[in-house]
Amino acid sequence: MAGLVPGMIPEKLKAEVKGLNFYYNDLKALKDIHLPIANKLITALIGPSGCGKTTYLRCFNRMHDLYPNNRYEGEIILYPERVNIVDPRIDPIEVRMRISMVFQKPNPFPKTVFENVAYGLRVRGVNKKCLLDEKVEKALKQAALWDEVKDRIDDLAFNLSGGQQQRLCIARALATNPEILLFDEPTSALDPTATAKIEELILQLKKEVTIIIVTHNMQQAARVSDYTAFMYLGEIIEFDRTDKVFTRPSQKLTEEYITGRFG
């Protein structure tokens, strides 16, 4: 359970999760989740492996609809229209057009750098070369990758380093101006230098987009996020401002987790 916490203004929410349950077949993976998502701020989800944080994140862009026998209950209200994005009557493609995702491992397409970034736009029917050029450049600049790749924009994306590939995936997700950007452990496959770059970038991006990040790295959550939710066994144990969660957690379980006594 988690409602508004001090400092959160209802008018400044981008989304609000209300009583969300999620089932894989008969397995209840998420149990009655309530969570406000602040607009243009960063919300981190932490918790031990298997606690449901990735499952939860993937509800936001309806990724679970790709596989059979998955079921949502409850609501994720997207503001300002107050549309429930897990309502089966809402087309998952529409949700994914508005909410982008960056995955755990860099997963560029085996296409050129340019085509990777342009793909989301092409899906939306943008095919004019000059418009694509402009938007691709803007997205690559936002993802702090432009200077490194501007001379090899037509090279295959697989030739980039791991960290560059992940920033390329961020650029690809940004190119379509998403309202929310989901990060699923974006640095777990990267070395410390590349991780630092991505973290810096995530901090930059919150000026423009609402961010939800799943991480197993507590220092990362402490460094980048404004709000932190601690999940355990499919439930939200604690949700508060990040500094408070990490300095004065109210739940015993949270304290044990952040001090490394389990998880």
Partner 1 sequence: MQATEQPEILEMRKRISSNKLRDHIFWIVGLFSTLIGFALLFTLIIDLFIDGFPRLSWHFFTSYPSRFPEQAGILSAWVGTILVMMVTAAAAVPLGIAAGIYLEEYGKKNWLTHLIEINMNNLAGVPSIIYGLLALWLFVYFLKFGESILTGGLTLGLLILPMVVIATRESIRAIPNSIREASYALGASKWQTIKDHIIPYSVGGILTGMIIGLSRAIGETAPIITVGALTFIAFLPSSPVTSGFPFLSFKWLLDPFTVMPIQMFNWISRPQTAFHLNAAAAGIVLLVMTLVMNGFAIYVRYRFRKRIKW
Q: Phi-psi bin for 180: left (phi > 0), alpha (psi -120 to 50), beta?
A: beta
Residue 169 engages partner 1 in binding (rule: CB under 8 A): yes
Rounded Cα distance between 250 and 204, Å, is: 30
Residue 135 engages partner 1 in binding (rule: CB under 8 A): no
User: Toward partner 1, which CB reaches closer, 108 or 186?
Assistant: 108
CB atoms within 10 A of CB 213: 26
Q: Which one of the spans 13-21, 22-30, 97-105, 221-229 is the region binding partner 1 (CB under 8 A)?
A: 97-105
Residue 131 engages partner 1 in binding (rule: CB under 8 A): no
Q: Which one of the spans 45-53, 172-180, 229-237, 241-249 is the region binding partner 1 (CB under 8 A)?
A: 172-180
User: Toward partner 1, which CB reaches closer, 101 or 222?
Assistant: 101
Read off the DSSP letter of residue 59. Answer: T
CB atoms within 10 A of CB 41: 18
Residue 126 engages partner 1 in binding (rule: CB under 8 A): no
Q: Within 3-62, which residues bind partner 1 (CB under 8 A)?
A: 61
Residue 97 engages partner 1 in binding (rule: CB under 8 A): yes
Amino acid at 2: A
Read off the DSSP letter of residue 208. Answer: T
Q: Where does the chain have alpha helices with state H?
A: 53-57, 92-98, 113-123, 129-142, 146-149, 162-174, 192-205, 218-224, 242-247, 252-258
For tokens 């607009």, name the residue: 39
User: Toward partner 1, which CB reaches closer, 2 or 95?
Assistant: 95
Least distance from partner 1 to the Cβ atom of residue 237, Å:
28
Give the footprint of partner 1 on this chain (CB under 8 A): 61, 63, 66, 68, 93-94, 96-97, 100-101, 103, 105, 107-110, 119-120, 122-124, 156, 158, 169, 172-173, 176
